[in-house]
Amino acid sequence: MVKEQVAALLRSALQRCVQDGLLPPGEYPVQLDSPKQAAHGDFAANAAMAFAKQHAAATGAPKPNPRALAQAIVDRIEDREGLLAARPEIAGPGFLNIRLAQDVWHKALRAVWEQRERFGRSDAGHGLRTMVEFVSANPTGPMHVGHGRGAVIGDVVANLLERAGYQVFREFYINDAGGQVWRLAHAVLARATELRPGVPRVPLDPEDYQGEYVKDVARAWLDAGGDPSRPFPEIRESLRGFATNWILKNLIEEDLRLFGIRFDSFFSEKLLHDQDRLSAAIRMLDEKGMTAMEVLPPPKGVDIDEEEYVPQPLKVVKTTRFGDDRDRPLLKTSGEPTYFAADVAYHFDKLSRGYRRLIDVWGADHGGYVSRMKAVVAAMGGELEVILFQLVNLVKDGQPYRMSKRAANFVTLRELLETAGPDATRVFFLLRRGDMALDFDVCLAQKRDNSNPVFYVQYGHARCAAILRRAREEKGVEPRWDPDAMGALQLPEEIDLIKRVLQFPELVAHAASALEPHKVVFYLQETIAQFHGYYTKYKKTERVISGDERKTTARLYLVWAVKQTLANALAVLGVSAPERMDAPAAEED
């Protein structure tokens, strides 16, 4: 890797500075930036400034002049392999502006040829077993657009981590226990009595789920032999099981399939209860001295009207020891476990299964939950990272469009996937950083024109494909790596494109470590813009396919390398890389 080679050059120069007594012994991690301005070379190093400061801090001696230190470093660079075009220039307060010999870039492009679809991967993660838990939508109804955002972020983060060398496991936690699912069961029974004449009607409770899909569940339940004349308490358990399972299979898993998201497992909360895993987890916290009986203070900032606060000792986990605001109850006054207790057991289970790194993807409405969950995982000897994404505000024709799940007027993920398609939906969600609130314009996402950036991104790939196709069909030439031909790439735009391609592995590693999938989208857009610019500028003068065999070979390879890189980036996003795209029908004026 070019950047690493240059860094090594500087590191050894710095070591010689140490030997010559110019710097105290120590580590000198070199930071190399890619300057925005061509005049600043291929790389810029701030080593002289940074280490002059470090020197003064460590020794108490007056700070060396950074420009003088820069000169000393330059004097000690031994460029045996001929990487550099010239001695680095010293600029401004002490930057080293480094310009490389052109053939360094040419040669480096071989990496794409060797690695193909693996280009961009690294082993930074050393195969660390990592679990990404995401979506985890309640099996009480269809998924809405907010789930969609979490789904894409989780999926692409998992893709990134895989490419960065982690061993990734994707899990969906099914909240199939607790009060919500009883409301669902009741709603199904109510709808079932509507459908079956002669059976005493069970009225739909206002708290029940109101959506049309509940009727579908009821119909399926009746078809499967459900008997709506029996009293609710007798059948609610089997209703619960039937309904959550039906919704999971017919709504949620189908949405995920349309979205192209695959999980390694679906983990049932109910199973934790059935297997008494909650008490096991609580015992484990007991052994660590993390639990206590405490009277918790009344909640602040919330109206406590009818359910008046009764000060009473409760079994709590002492999350305050790990930075939480207050300790959290594990058992209710009734002795029943809290929802949180189940989550504790679940995360305990993740650790028991050998995952060393836990990542949860949550909506911002669960933000208050982060510190307690992190505290518990830390107490259990693990580490949890939470990716919080801000909520999605639906907008329709420029007007806010509030949605309510019970009122059933929300826009489902299914509608979105069917109208906009999975590719556009994925890109749309990744067009913003996760911690920005997202205004989702339902109309805009359904447009199939260039207001939707996915077409721009895919068109770049298709255009590369078209050039390669033409070379094959008209000249019978396939792209191939020929180191002797690469010197034909002399245009500044060609060198810039090479650099751009070679930045991809770095980009992947960085996006993975920051857990920021949107960076891949921006890389794609910038890379494609650069390619379109190159293509258009020279389409009449310096074409890829020309009579000059050497140039043709080199340029064909460059186009191939760009295409491969775009394809790899699109694969990270889970977006298709089309070989051709039909132009949209021309608008008539």
Dihedral in degrees, nearest 10, Cα atoms 273, 276, 278, 279 = 150
**Dist CA 188 CA 202 (whole Å):** 10
Nearer to RNA, 204 or 444 (CB): 444
Euclidean distance between CA atoms 257 and 367, whole angstroms = 28
How far apart are the C-alpha atoms of 111 and 121, rounded to whole Å? Answer: 11
Shortest distance, position 549 Cβ to RNA, whole Å: 14
CB of 208 to RNA, least distance (A): 14
Closest CB to RNA among residues 491, 571: 491
Closest approach, Cβ 46 to RNA, in A, equals 4
Give the shortest CB-542-to-RNA separation in angstroms.
7
Helix, strand, coil distribution of the chain in percent, nearest 5: 50, 10, 35
Q: How far is the CB of 221 from RNA (least distance, A)?
A: 21
Q: Choose between 41 and 228: whose C-beta lies nearer to RNA.
A: 41
Q: Which is nearer to RNA, 66 or 574 (CB)?
A: 66
Question: Backbone phi, then psi, for 568, in 5-degree steps?
Answer: -65, -40
CA nearest neighbour of 162 among 15, 318, 305, 359 = 359
Residues 6 or more apart whose CB falls under 8 angstroms from that of 208 comprise: 183, 184, 186, 187, 190, 214, 406
CB of 562 to RNA, least distance (A): 12
Nearer to RNA by C-beta: 338 or 412? 338
* Tokens found for residue 469: 């196709």
CB of 385 to RNA, least distance (A): 13
CA nearest 545: which of 464, 456, 484, 481?
464
Q: Which is nearer to RNA, 232 or 339 (CB)?
A: 339
Which strands form 32-33's sheet, in the order they lie side by side? 32-33, 43-45, 95-98, 89-91
CB nearer RNA, residue 230 or residue 433? 433
Closer by beta carbon to RNA, 90 or else 222: 90
- Residue 544 to residues 462, 470, 557, Cα–Cα distance (Å): 15, 10, 10
Read off the amino acid at residue 529.
A
Q: Find the shortest distance in angstroms from Cβ 116 to RNA.
A: 22
| Alpha carbons 227 and 101: distance in angstroms, whole number | 80
Nearer Cβ to RNA, position 82 or 533? 533
Q: What is the DSSP string of 434-486?
A: TTS-EEEEHHHHH--STTSHHHHHHHHHHHHHHHHHHIIIII-------TTTG
Min. distance of Cβ 32 from RNA in angstroms? 10
On whether the CB atoms of residues 17 and 70 are closer than 8 A, the answer is no
